[in-house]
Amino acid sequence: MRTLTKDFSPLYRSFIGAEHLASLMDKANKAEKQPAYPPYNIISIAEDKYRITMAVAGFVDSELDIESKENSLVVTGTKVAKEEDTNVTYLYQGIAERNFERKFQLADHVKVISAHMENGLLHIDLLREIPEALKPRKIAINGKSLLEGESN
Helices (H) and strands (E) in the chain, counts: 1, 7
Beta-strand relationship, 110-118 and 49-55: unpaired
DSSP H or E segment with residue 20: helix 19-29
Q: Where does CATH 2.60.40.790 sit in the chain?
A: 34-132
Architecture (CATH level 2) of domain 34-132 = Sandwich (2.60)
pLDDT value for 132: 74
Q: Residue 135 has what DSSP assignment?
A: S
Low-confidence ranges of the chain (pLDDT < 70): 1-35, 82-86, 143-152
E strands within 1-152? 40-46, 49-55, 64-69, 72-77, 100-105, 110-118, 121-128
pLDDT at 88: 77
Q: What is the pLDDT of residue 1?
A: 46
In sequence order, which residues have a C-beta less than 8 Å from that of residue 126 and are 6 or more positions away?
Answer: 49, 50, 51, 52, 73, 106, 110, 111, 112, 113
pTM of the entire predicted model? 0.64
SS3 (DSSP) at 32: coil
pLDDT tens for 89-131 read 888 877 777 899 999 888 888 889 999 999 999 999 999 887 7
